[in-house]
Amino acid sequence: MQDDSFRVDTDRHPAVGPASDPGAGHAIDPASGHPRPPRREFKARGSFVRRCPGCHLPELNCLCPYRVTAASVARVWLLTHAMEHHKPTNTGRLIRDVLPDTEVFTWYRTVPDERLLALLDDPRYSPFVIFPDDQPDYADRVVGVDAVAGAKREGRIPVFILLDGTWRQARRIFRKSPYLDGLPVLPLATERLTRYRLRKPASTSHLCTAEVAAELLRQSGDVTAADILDDYFDAFNDSYAASRRFEKLEAPTAAMKRLVERQR
């Protein structure tokens, strides 16, 4: 379920919405730079909230003091549905905040990103599409997390390709992207239940994008990066939830304290 109660004012914060291109009269996609038709002005509740230009959260509870970067052996590439760029509740940006090597590509059904196609052909990388193994037609492509360890032994960089959107959007990306058809499919096996409170999931076993990334990093051996991303996600979750109630967090949470300690 999408939650747009605090959608971003794209005129005020072009970094997370399409930038204006006055010469063409179109908008520019924030990830690829492709021209897009202009969106109607958003005037619903939350559109005039003052936001931090760094973290895009309401200034009432800015996340910037808790940002910590980490290194990981595995990489994350986000194949993001275009609508997700306009949602400040999107957690994919948290991954890029923590892991600077994260790549972000906007998904278009008919026009694949040329840079993504080039990276998929790069022999340095061993990409895995993260998707459930719930259909028989691609069962021959399904692998376990041991395949990630195998890629490392071969001297290749494992890459987790996360389909960033709602479950319905993610399934469409998976089914309508022929350039993903030859890649191994890695389902996330975990008992973890979601802690995400900003959108209502269909099931508590449905993790948000940042939670999926943290679990994959942890299972593949990048434990420190996973712990930092988990704490950053919790700080985001608490900060945003408080802002929705128009409340200022008066004291740092446990996750925030751990992030500050890592900065020292």
Pairing of strands 26-28, 19-21: antiparallel
User: What's the mean per-residue pLDDT of the chain?
Assistant: 84
Token pair of 162 as six digits:
């996360």
Q: What residue numbers bound the domain in which 131 lies?
A: 64-263
| Measured distance CA(207)–CA(191) in Å, rounded | 11
- Cβ distance 28 to 35 under 8 Å? yes
pLDDT at 16: 37
Token pair of 195 as six digits:
């802690």
Token pair of 149 as six digits:
């360890």
| Measured distance CA(235)–CA(149) in Å, rounded | 30
pLDDT at 4: 34
Residue with tokens 């069962």: 139
Pairing of strands 157-164, 75-81: parallel
Is the residue at 209 inside a domain? yes
Q: What is the pLDDT of residues 191-236, one digit of tens each?
A: 888 888 777 665 566 788 999 999 999 999 999 999 999 999 999 9
Is the residue at 187 inside a domain? yes
Token pair of 249 as six digits:
């967090």
Q: What is the pLDDT of residues 32-55, one digit of tens each?
A: 555 554 555 444 445 567 889 889
Whole-structure pTM value: 0.82
pLDDT at 36: 58
Is the residue at 49 inside a domain? no
Is the residue at 24 inside a domain? no
pLDDT tens digits in sequence order for the chain, 264 residues long: 333 333 323 333 333 333 333 333 445 555 555 555 455 544 444 556 788 988 989 999 999 999 999 999 999 999 999 988 878 888 999 999 999 999 999 999 889 999 999 999 999 999 999 999 989 999 999 999 999 999 999 999 999 999 999 889 999 999 999 999 999 999 999 888 888 877 766 556 678 899 999 999 999 999 999 999 999 999 999 999 999 889 999 999 999 999 999 998
Pairing of strands 157-164, 185-186: unpaired
Number of domains in the chain: 1
Task: Report the amino acid identity of residue 121.
Answer: D
